[in-house]
Amino acid sequence: MMKPIPTSTPQERVTLFRGIAVPPANIDHVSAEIWEHGLRKVKGMLWGSQMASPSAVRGRVAELMASPSTIRARIDEMPMGHLICACGDEFGATHYAVGRLPIGDISRGLLITFSAGLNELSIDGKDFLYTIFQFWDRDRKHDRELFRERLAMMFGTGILKYFDLASETDKTIERVGICDLACIDLNVIREHLRNMVLINGRCNTRFCSAVQMQEPVTSAQIISVTTVHSLPGAPERQIHLDSLLH
Per-residue confidence of the chain (246 residues) as pLDDT tens digits?
455 555 555 679 999 999 998 888 899 999 999 999 999 865 444 456 899 999 999 999 999 999 999 999 999 999 999 999 999 999 999 999 988 776 666 678 999 999 999 999 999 999 999 999 999 998 766 689 999 999 999 999 999 999 999 999 999 999 999 999 999 999 999 999 999 999 999 999 999 999 999 999 999 999 999 999 888 999 999 999 999 988
Report if residue 8 sits inside a domain. no
Q: What would you measure as the largest C-alpha separation in the chain, in angstroms?
A: 55
Query: What count of other Cβ atoms lies within 10 Å of the Cβ of residue 130?
Result: 19
**Half-sphere CA count of 171, side-chain side, radius 13 A:** 12
Rounded Cα gap, residues 171 and 133, in angstroms: 11
Count the domains in the chain.
1
Provide φ and ψ at 239, rounded to 5°: -125, 135
Dihedral Cα 153, 231, 202, 57, nearest 10 deg: 60
pLDDT of 3:
53
Residue 149, beta-bridge partner list: none
Report if residue 10 sits inside a domain. no
Rounded Cα gap, residues 22 and 110, in angstroms: 7
Q: By C-alpha distance, which of 107, 114, 108, 106 is closest to 90?
A: 114
Report if residue 5 sits inside a domain. no
Range of the domain at 166: 15-245
pLDDT of 1:
47
Report if residue 9 sits inside a domain. no
- Cα 93 to Cα 21, 96, 206, 238: the distances in Å are 11, 5, 9, 16
pLDDT of 83:
93
Would you give the DSSP letter of residue 145?
H
Report if residue 68 sits inside a domain. yes
pLDDT of 99:
81
Report if residue 7 sits inside a domain. no
Report if residue 229 sits inside a domain. yes
Report if residue 57 sits inside a domain. yes
